[in-house]
Amino acid sequence: MLRLIAQRLGLGLLTLFAASVLIFAGTEILPGDLASAVLQNSATPESLAEMRKELGLDRPAAVRYVEWLGHAVEGDLGRSLASHRDVVEEITPRLKNTMFLAVYAAVVAVPLAVVLGLMAAIWQGGIYDRAVNFVTLLTISVPEYLVGYILIKYLSVRLGWFPSLANVTPDTPLLERIGLTFLPMLTLVLVVMAHMMRMTRASVLQIMASPYIEMAFLKGLPKWRVVVRHAFPNALAPIINVIALDLAYLIVGVVVVEAVFVYPGLGQLMVDAVSKHDVPLVQACGLIFAGAFILLNMTADVLAILTNPRLRHPR
Read off the pTM: 0.75
Lowest mean pLDDT among 61-70, 119-128, 299-308: 299-308
Helices (H), 74-207: 87-122, 127-141, 144-151, 174-180, 182-207
Q: Are 128 and 21 within one domain?
A: no
Residue 268: predicted pLDDT? 81
Contact 291, 69 (CB under 8 A): no
Is 85 among the domain residues? no
Same domain, 66 and 131: no
Q: Is the pLDDT of residue 292 over 80?
A: yes
Whether residues 114 and 64 share a domain: the answer is no
- Domain assignment present for residue 84? The answer is no
1 within a domain of the structure (yes/no): no
User: Of all residues in the chain, what percent carry a pLDDT higher than 70?
Assistant: 86
Asked if residue 314 has pLDDT above 60, the reply is no
Does residue 25 share a domain with residue 153?
no
Range of the domain at 222: 90-273+290-312
Please indicate, yes or no, if residue 199 is contained in any of the structural domains. Answer: yes
For the purposes of burial, counting CB atoms within 10 Å of the CB of 48, is it exposed (0-12), middle (13-18) or buried (19 or more)?
middle
35/150 same-domain check? no
159, 209: one domain: yes
Q: What mean pLDDT comes out for the span 113-133?
A: 81
If you count DSSP H runs as helices and E runs as strands, how many of each does the chain have, helices first? 16, 0
Residue 81 forms part of a structural domain:
no
CB atoms within 10 A of CB 13: 12
Q: 270 pLDDT band (50/70/90 cuts)? A: confident
CA distance linking residue 61 with residue 58, whole number of Å: 9
Alpha-carbon gap, residue 225 to 177, rounded angstroms: 39
If you average pLDDT over every residue of the chain, what do you get? 78
The per-residue pLDDT for 300 is: 75
pLDDT-derived band at 309 (thresholds 50, 70, 90) equals: low
Rounded alpha-carbon distances, angstroms, from residue 248 to 92, 97, 128, 160, 310: 19, 16, 29, 31, 25
| Gap between the Cα atoms of 48 and 50, Å rounded | 5
pLDDT-based confidence at 315, cuts 50/70/90?
Answer: low
How many structural domains is the chain composed of? 2
User: Using one digit for the tens of pLDDT, what is the confidence trace for 18-45?
Assistant: 888 888 887 777 665 565 566 555 556 6
Among candidate residues 244, 235, 266, the one with its CA nearest the CA of residue 98: 266
Same domain for 116 and 216? yes
Q: Are 24 and 133 within one domain? A: no
For residues 96 and 206, the answer to whether their CB atoms sit within 8 Å is no
Of the three residues 30, 46, 73, the one that is the final residue of a domain is 73
In a domain, 218, yes or no: yes
Q: Are residues 42 and 169 in the same domain?
A: no
Q: Is residue 111 part of a domain?
A: yes
* Pair 185, 266 in one domain: yes
Q: Are residues 129 and 40 part of one domain?
A: no
Tell me if 171 is assigned to some domain.
yes
Mark whether 59 and 167 lie in a shared domain.
no
